Amino acid sequence: MRLHSRSVNAITMTIQTPNKLIPYHPPDFARPLRNVPSHRLNIANLPSPLHRIPMSSDLKKDSVLKPFQDLNIDFLIKRDDMSAGVELGGNKIRKLEFLLADALQSNCDTVVTIGGEQSNHCRATAAACRLVGLEPHLILRTKTANRVEEDKMVKQKDSFGHVGNLLFDRIVGSRIYTCTPGEYGRFGSKALVDRVCADLSGSKGKKVYPIPVGGSNGLGTWGYIEAIHELKDQLNGEKVHHVVFACGSGGTASGITLGLALGYKEEREKMPEIHAVGVCDDPEYFYQEVKRISQEMDLDLSGVSTCESIEGYIKECMTVHQGKGKGYASSTKEELSFIVNFALETGIILDPVYSGKALFYFMEELKDHPEKYRNTSILFWHTGGSLGVYDKIDEMSDMMSNISSVERLNAYSSSGKT
């Protein structure tokens, strides 16, 4: 097993060719997943770091880290926000290593995917496509779809903008199609992707590879099976009691849950409790998504568990917490203030849509059940998304003025002279 991960690392240490297909051999523990990819790409910067967060001995009583210190918690962060450069980084790149390998192997020249206006998945997909020579087409859900179209028709003006992820979508020349939240709800993401694929492959003669929302299907989820392989190596036998992360389309949750459950099957005492924090729907929806993805990976429960159904197994292995707050991509003052204070105290930027909400709402759980977490180690999986803060500048500016002062340097004063 070690040999396998070493050989992957060896690739990153020599010259890399992003579009080169690398034969994939899954870790031994993943044998119950029978639908195995044949190839992957090597485009992420892995392993991502695993940081132990230092606790100062004199934390202020309103410190965001105070609950960890009071409960003597060892706080670790898996830095998938550092999995690649700003254009590719976050959790989606792990899935794209498998998805784009499949696209190249199928001789496709074009990729179509879909997400919200500030989708990290679309941004990473677009940049990764260019990195390996594919043409990115993105369907973005936005309330401004009609106004932007009107501006284009009537004023010949491009008013779509370049905030956050959009700048990166556009700078790599993505072809963007807008839809309204209503259309997205009415037709569903799959039908919209299929429609654009049909257009491109019909008269335009493109060979199109569709990627579902969030890259969350059975194939993409192998990225997080590999991530658990990587984490186990980094932990080197050390026990983690709780693993916490944000859940949006379910691929990350599926990979982490199946990876940990299968990876620690022989060492049950080391198996962490898994806490997925859902940021856009109710917990039951996510259990069903993880079940669907497990079925796509062709999970064989015989010899793994006495549970009678995959659904039962999933529910035994993971807990989904409610963390959507005011709704997908909208933030409360408390959530944003948590992000600002967390950055101030740790130097780590969480994002407002996923990781910031996940840790904010997990802290509520921690405060509600302190004894459950006392003297444990908690690993928070930072899934990236920091470009999302650009979308919240107006809401966050007062908080930043409070913690970061700006003053005019008196360059002409003599007091600094030596």
Ligand X SMILES: *Cc1c(COP(=O)(O)O)cnc(C)c1O
32 secondary structure, DSSP code: T
Min separation Cβ 201 and ligand X, Å: 26
Residue 121 touches ligand X, criterion: CB under 6 A: yes
CA gap 93, 99 in Å, rounded: 10
Residue 98 touches ligand X, criterion: CB under 6 A: no
Note whether 221 and 297 are within 8 A (CB): yes
- Residues of this chain, 379-408, that bind ligand X according to CB under 6 A: 383-385
Q: Using alpha carbons, list the distances in angstroms from residue 5 to 10, 24, 77, 228, 254.
A: 9, 11, 21, 11, 21
Q: Using CB under 6 A, pick the residue from 83, 216, 305, 331 that binds ligand X.
A: 216
Q: Using CB under 6 A, pick the residue from 27, 116, 218, 251 that binds ligand X.
A: 251
40 secondary structure, DSSP code: E
CA gap 302, 305 in Å, rounded: 6
Q: Among this protein's residues, is 119 annotated catalytic?
A: yes
Q: Using CB under 6 A, pick the residue from 132, 253, 310, 389 that binds ligand X.
A: 253
Residue 217 touches ligand X, criterion: CB under 6 A: no
Q: Using CB under 6 A, pick the residue from 174, 252, 294, 305 that binds ligand X.
A: 252
Residue 249 touches ligand X, criterion: CB under 6 A: yes
Min separation Cβ 138 and ligand X, Å: 14
Closest to ligand X by CB, 48 or 249: 249
Q: Using CB under 6 A, pick the residue from 120, 189, 294, 331 that binds ligand X.
A: 120
Q: How many residues bind ligand X (CB under 6 A)?
A: 20
Residue 278 touches ligand X, criterion: CB under 6 A: no
- Residues of this chain, 5-64, that bind ligand X according to CB under 6 A: none
Provide the 10 A C-beta neighbour count for residue 101: 25
Our measurement of the distance from residue 50's CA atom to the centroid of its chain's CA atoms, rounded to an integer in Å, reads 16
What three-state secondary structure class fits 304?
A: coil
Provide the 10 A C-beta neighbour count for residue 380: 24
Residue 125 touches ligand X, criterion: CB under 6 A: no
Q: Using alpha carbons, list the distances in angstroms from residue 281 to 119, 243, 287, 392.
A: 16, 20, 11, 21
Record the tokens describing residue 31, joined without a space.
């044998």
Note whether 199 and 100 are within 8 A (CB): no
Closest to ligand X by CB, 246 or 318: 246
- Residues of this chain, 340-359, that bind ligand X according to CB under 6 A: 351, 354-355
Record the tokens describing residue 188, joined without a space.
């569903």
Closest to ligand X by CB, 313 or 354: 354
Element spanning 381, H or E: strand 377-382
Note whether 125 and 109 are within 8 A (CB): no
Closest to ligand X by CB, 79 or 206: 79
Closest to ligand X by CB, 5 or 119: 119
Active-site residue, from 48, 83, 119, 331: 119
Catalytic residue numbers?
Answer: 119
Residues engaged in binding ligand X (CB under 6 A): 90-91, 120-121, 214, 216, 246-253, 351, 354-355, 383-385
